[in-house]
Amino acid sequence: MNIEHKVVVVTGASSGIGRATAKMLAGRGARVVLGARRGADLAAIAAEISAVGGHSAYRVTDVTSRADVDALVAHALERFGRVDVLVNVAGIGPISRFDALRIEDWDAMIDVNLRGTLYGIGAALPLFKRQQSGHIVNVISTAGLKILPTMGIYAATKNAVRTATEALRQETKRIRVTEVSPGYVATEFSRSITDPDVLAHIDGRKAAFAIPPEAVARAIAYAIEQPEDVEIGSIVIRPTAQD
C-alpha cells in the first residue's frame, strides 16, 4: 500500500527479525539500508535482495557505538537521499537469575537493547524533523508485558524502551512511532545466553512453538504501510500457544 520507494534503515539486520524485515520490505519495493556487526552476513543479504531486483545498501554497525549508528543513518541519506523509516531491531538476551550475578550480561543488555535503541532515535530524529516526516519502529518484547524469573534485566531494558517510545510518540506529531512486542520467535536470540540451564529452557520453549521471524516482519510492514495520517502505536505478536 505505502511501502514502495520508502527508504528504511534496519538495525540488527544480519539475522532473525531484522533480516526477515529487510528482505520483506525490499520485496515490497522499499530501499533498505542494513546495519549489524557481521559484515559478511550483511553483504550476503544485500546480494539476495539485488538478485531479485531489490535495492539495498549496508554498513557494518555496532549499535553500542553512537558514531556507528549516526554513520548508518548518514549512509542511508547519502545513498538514497532521504530516510523514511528507522526500525530498531538489534537486541540481545543473555538472561539469567539475579543471584547468578552475571553483571557483565546485565551491562551488555543495557548497552545494546536500551542505549542502542536510543542511539537510533537520536540519529534519525533530527533528520525526520527536517523532513517533517518519518517513522520510528522499536522492536521490544512480550517479556516486558509478563515478567518472569530470569527475565528481570532483559525485561527492564525492553520496558525502558517501551516507556521512551510512548513519550516520543506524544512529543512528535508529524513523526509516527510504533512499538512491536514479539513473543517467542525462531531466531538466534538464545545465542547470547551464558547460563546453560536457562539456555536449555529457552531453546526447548522455542522448539515447541516459536513463530518464524517473517511473522514479525509482516507486523512491522503493516505499521509502515499505513497512510501517513495513521499511526499504529503498539503491536503484540506471539505464538498462539504462548502463555
Known catalytic membership, residue 184: no
Q: Count the Cβ atoms, other than its own, within 10 Å of residue 177.
A: 24
Identified catalytic residue from 58, 154, 184, 222 = 154
The vertex-63 CA angle with 110 and 197, nearest 5°, equals 45
Q: Do residues 136 and 124 lie in contact, with contact meaning Cβ atoms separated by under 8 Å?
A: yes
| Angstrom distance (rounded) from CA 135 to CA 115 | 19
Nearest Cα to Cα of residue 68 among 21, 109, 116, 108: 116
Q: Write b or e for each residue in 130-151: b if 16 or more Cβ atoms lie within 10 A of its Cβ, otherwise e.
A: eeeebbbbbbbbbbbeeeeebb
In the chain, alpha helices (H): 16-27, 39-51, 66-80, 103-109, 116-131, 152-171, 196-209, 213-224
Q: Catalytic amino acids?
A: 154
